[in-house]
Amino acid sequence: NKWRIVFPNNGRQWKDWKQASTFYSGNRIQTTKYTWLTFFPQNLFEQFHRLGNLYFLFLVVLNWCPQVKAFHREITMLPLLVVLLASMIKDAVEDYKKYHFDKMINFSKTRVYDK
C-alpha cells in the first residue's frame, strides 16, 4: 500500500473555503482524452488534421468519379482504412491505459498532514 501525501493550505478561513468550494470541481485526476461517446468522431477529426490522411481521402473521393477512375475503388480505400484503423486502435489502447492509471491514482489512500 503506497500512500499519497497531501499538504492542505490551513491558512484559509472556513468561510472563504466554503465560498471557494462551491466553484471547485474536486481533485479527481483525469488525463483521458476520449469518452465512449466522443471517441469515434473526435478521433476521426484528429486523424483528418494530418495531411497524409487528407491526401488519401482525396484519392478515394476522386476514384468514385467515373471520369477519373484510375484504380478500383476498393483498392484505393484500403491504405486509408488501414492507417485510420491502426491509429484508432493505438489511441484507444493508450486512452484505456490512462483511464486505469487515473482510476488507480484517484482511489489510492491519502494521508493528509495538518500543521
pLDDT tens-digit series, residues 43-73: 999 999 999 999 989 988 888 888 877 777 7
- Exposure of 21 by Cβ count < 10 A (0-12 exposed, 13-18 middle, 19+ buried)? exposed
Please say if the pLDDT value at position 7 is more than 70. Answer: no
- Reference 41, options 80, 91, 96; nearest CA is 91
The reply to whether 7 falls in a domain is: no
The reply to whether 3 falls in a domain is: no
Number of domains composing the chain: 1
Mean pLDDT of the residues in the chain? 82
Helix ranges, the chain (H): 14-21, 39-47, 51-63, 73-106
- Percentage of residues of the chain with pLDDT beyond 90: 41
The reply to whether 90 falls in a domain is: yes
The reply to whether 4 falls in a domain is: no
Please say if the pLDDT value at position 96 is more than 70. Answer: yes
Cell 483525469 locates to: 30
- Exposure of 93 by Cβ count < 10 A (0-12 exposed, 13-18 middle, 19+ buried)? exposed
The reply to whether 6 falls in a domain is: no
Q: Supply the pTM of this predicted model.
A: 0.68
